[in-house]
A and B are shown apart, each in its own frame.
Chain A
Amino acid sequence: MKIFIEKEQKNEIIFFEGKAKDLLKKLKIDVNTVLVVQNGELITEDDIIKDKDEIKILSVISGG
């Protein structure tokens, strides 16, 4: 799965299938601080991600 983590401006390829919240847990990212975008669409933390998906993890904390 292709994944882009905006806060770190980092692209990664990892294997993952499961709920978005479990992906965030695996990546040690606080669910309150990000939005998850699956193939260009905003999804909830309970939605299922498949390994073929393209995922963006967008930081909700802008500014200082």
Chain B
Amino acid sequence: MKCKQCNEKAVFLNPKLCKKHFIEDFENRVKETIKEFNLVKKSDKIVVACSGGKDSTTILYLLKKFGANVEALSIDEGIVGYHNKTLKDLKGFCKEYKIKLKIYSFEDNIGKKLDNMIDKKSLPCTICGTFRRSLMNKYAKGYDKIATGHNMDDESQAVLMNLVNSNTDLLNHSVPITKKLKGFVQKIKPLYFIPEKEVAAYSLLKGFNVNFTECPYVNLSFRQGIRDKLNSYATRQMKTNILRKHLQVLSVLELNKQDYGKCSICGQPSKNKICRACELAKNLNKTKGRTNQ
């Protein structure tokens, strides 16, 4: 099977392209998203939220390649056999590309590893996501933007999950660039319109040393069910349609105009007196609040 742009063998079917043209096409589409949504300004100091997996490594590489001022930030949740592998890859990658990397852990900030927070009643993804987002925002202070590796599959799944759960507030998070809100560092998602399979192919073709490792708690997540259902019927075009229509609807609704106050324990933005992360930390029988800013 030949590439649609030359006589070389295709390495991918949709788009049907050889290695060279697939890489070019992929990078151009990421650039288009950056341009369309004005994700990066020349003066921006950007921190990339990195797990060491394919998505965040790809966006770290591309932002650096496109000339952005980038550093890497990783949160070690404390999941045995998962993040220790990906963090090792990330450290090697940052060393090779001369990118500054900072790592913070749940253990140092909350007092426990995620593995030790889980019991039969708790959903690991809820705990992990809440603490990870809170710590990421805390340690991204001083940067203009946080770039994440969320891809088209992640985002179309998130839109459906939040619709199914009637979580209209969270629908606002599934956008290529979040709004400027007091206390929050803006988030950008340059891979918003790139399917997960293409990110995996790109990182493989570029020879990035990343483990394609699934989190061991993935089977307990609500996302897993949505992902399987969506993959069973939705084509790439349908997932693109979900996101394009979602953005159109959001622009009309203008949800989430409510201002945030400050959490009385940690100082992070919160709609309530105590933020969700500190509530969770209290419930995990921690005697002290989290580290104040």
Contacts and interface: CB of A to CB of B under 8 A. Distances in A.
Contacts of B221: 64
Nearest to B210: A62
A19 B97 CA distance: 38
B98 to A, nearest CB: 24
Nearest to B16: A44
Interface in B198-250: 199-201, 204-205, 210-215, 217-218, 221, 223, 227, 231-232
Instruction: Report the contact-size class of chain B (Cβ under 8 Å from the partner).
Output: 20 to 34
Contacts of A59: 212, 214
Contacts of B231: 30, 32-33
A29 B13 CA distance: 17
Given A30-B231, A43-B11, A45-B13, A60 B214 contact: no
Contact of B204 (A7, A47, A58): A58
B12 interface: yes
B10 A64 contact: no
Contact of A62 (B201, B205, B212): B212
Nearest to A45: B13
Interface in B83-131: 125, 128
A6 B212 contact: yes
Given A30-B231, A32-B231, A63 B201 contact: no
Interface stretch (B35-43, B49-57, B180-188): B49-57
Interface residues of A, number: 21
Contact of A63 (B12, B16, B53, B197): B53
Interface in A43-57: 43-47
| Listed residue (A42, A43, A64) with the most chain B CB atoms within 10 angstroms of its CB | A64
Given A33-B231, A35-B200, A63-B51, A42 B217 contact: no
Interface string B167-207: 00000000000000000000000000000110111001100
A61 interface: yes
B200 A63 contact: no
A22 B186 CA distance: 45
A42 B232 contact: no
Contact of B1 (A32, A33, A47, A63): A47
Contacts of A45: 13
B12 A62 contact: no
Contacts of A46: 1, 13
A7 B199 CA distance: 17
A48 B221 CA distance: 36
A47 B13 CA distance: 10
A60 B215 contact: no
A7 B214 CA distance: 8
B214 A58 contact: no
Contacts of B204: 35, 37, 42, 58
28 contacts: A30-B232, A32-B197, A32-B231, A35-B200, A41-B11, A42-B19, A44-B1, A44-B10, A44-B16, A46-B1, A46-B13, A47-B1, A58-B200, A59-B214, A60-B200, A60-B201, A61-B212, A62-B200, A62-B213, A62-B214, A63-B51, A63-B55, A63-B215, A64-B128, A64-B215, A64-B217, A64-B218, A64-B223
Interface of A: 6-7, 30, 32-33, 35, 37, 41-47, 58-64
